[in-house]
Amino acid sequence: MCILAFQFEGFVDLGKHTPEKMKNVVGDHALVFMFRPFMGKWVQAIGCFLSKNNAPKEILANLTLEAIALMEKSGFFVDGVVTDGAQWNRGMWKQFGIDIKEGYSYHPLGEEGRKLYFFSDFPHLIKNVRSYVIENENFEVQ
């Protein structure tokens, strides 16, 4: 995958989770996993993937679990997952057992009773609405 000025080129690569039918397909969506500590001001990309359209919820769940496992194995504690509120991400949340009443599941890799929280990145939703309005000059609020 090659990334230049927010453009990318390459074939679908979701690691070992890449469906056979997509292995020689040109990707059009980047998926980046990042780690940010609660008490730190730094952010670190820990994984970059390329998919065709949006990655299915099952693949997102597997990649998320793998990212959590690798971070925990490295000595970091992953207590929360932040995504935008897109349908495929909400589908991934359901793979972890998240429902409308509870914003957490029991940590799949942590000690008994430890929770893994899921957060929706609300400002991302606002940015998407703003971008939609700007890109659609004829947009009118009804």
Q: What is the pTM of this model?
A: 0.80
**Coil vs helix vs strand at 128:** helix
Q: What are phi and psi for residue 116, nearest 5 degrees?
A: -120, 115
C-beta neighbour count of 75 within 10 angstroms? 6
Q: How far apart are CA 57 and CA 91, in angstroms?
A: 5
Report the chain (142 residues): mean pLDDT per 10 consecutive residues: 62 92 90 91 93 92 95 94 87 89 85 89 76 74 61
